[in-house]
Structure 1
């Protein structure tokens, strides 16, 4: 006698799809895709890990706007010092002395196009510019304030200054030699340099500061 077992819908035997050729094809295709993504991730990571910071270099093009402040700065030498105890993280008053009343903005004469003059000869008007040295000092102060206060919402400003100062340092490419000061770090001797005592070839920033104090920018024009 054949016994027929009554099964509920949830107890009925199902087809084992994992043993079918279709299932193997699906698993194989997924594995290949996952491997491809992993390989591209490794290649992408290694490429950007070794990438050097780039700056946009270009040849000079004519412009009605000046690119340099019309001032001659004497060549001077500066022997690097530790500067301690001045200009510490919390020395707000010391850092404030670095900035002129105009925060480094000054008005410079610019040439007008003939279309904006009464004759064929060019006339002059002024435009307001920020002198880069003061911008650089400002960014150093941003690093100081950001570290000392951990100010909320300051990260964007710090990142701007970080990228800005990176390009400025690369632009100047200072070749001054600094003495090696080997030291024990992590249980082994390594090269190190503090830079104190090295002599740098500079331009006299004091002359620039005097100029900015004497030629502050006028009121904002909108």
Structure 2
């Protein structure tokens, strides 16, 4: 009997090691998952030269990207609920900060722009997208130079619309102090 229990414990330990989602988080301190625990389907996205809309001045178009919760969602149990911001929405926010900063040329805005610039730099490096973009050589200053616009390249992505739907359905509750 001892051997059976030991064997079962070993199987569970191996399973838990290779399937970390089995961990039950307390949501106290740093004991919470690093990712929102939902599955996003893999999709392929071909980059276009520009979406209709989403110009620098299209405030209404940009507003459609943000869930009503501004990307905040609650996780945990009733006793240990924690509120988190989903990184994709933070990234969209930073792109919008760049857009608004460019359009309005506001002074006193540089601290927020710098935060977003550094944040987005780290996100791009973290994702290390290895999609190949065809060379579109062009003449610049009397010299031929390599260039790539990325249009037509097919990227392996996760379906952001599924995440948006989740955030719309699981908005954070009131701020808890």
TM range (shorter): 0.7 to 0.9
Q: What is the CA-CA distance between 1:218 and the residue it aligns to?
A: 0.2
The 5 Å alignment of 1:128-143 reads: 128-143=83-98
Aligned residues: 149
Asked if 1:66 corresponds to 2:21, the answer is no
Q: What is the CA-CA distance between 1:138 and the residue it aligns to?
A: 0.3
Asked if 1:218 corresponds to 2:173, the answer is yes
The 5 Å alignment of 1:186-197 reads: 186-197=141-152
Dislocated runs of 4+, deviation >2 Å: none
**RCO comparison, higher one (Cα < 8 Å, 6+):** 2
Return closer, same or farther for 1:207/1:150 CA change in 2, 3 Å cut-off: same
TM-superposition CA deviations, 1:193-212 (whole Å, max 9, x none) = 00000000001101000000
Distance in 2 of aligned mates of 1:105 and 1:75: 23
Q: What is the CA-CA distance between 1:125 and the residue it aligns to?
A: 2.1
Name 1:208's counterpart in structure 2. Answer: 163
Return closer, same or farther for 1:85/1:72 CA change in 2, 3 Å cut-off: closer
Q: Which of these residues, 81, 87, 93, is aligned with residue 54 of structure 2?
A: 87
| Structure whose CA Rg is larger | 1
The 5 Å alignment of 1:1-222 reads: 63-109=30-76, 125-222=80-177
Name 1:18's counterpart in structure 2. Answer: none
TM-superposition CA deviations, 1:124-183 (whole Å, max 9, x none) = 621000000000000000000001101121000000000000000000000000000001
TM, length-normalised to structure 2 = 0.81
List alignment gaps of at least 5 residues for structure 1: 1-61, 111-122
List alignment gaps of at least 5 residues for structure 2: 1-24
Distance in 2 of aligned mates of 1:105 and 1:210: 13
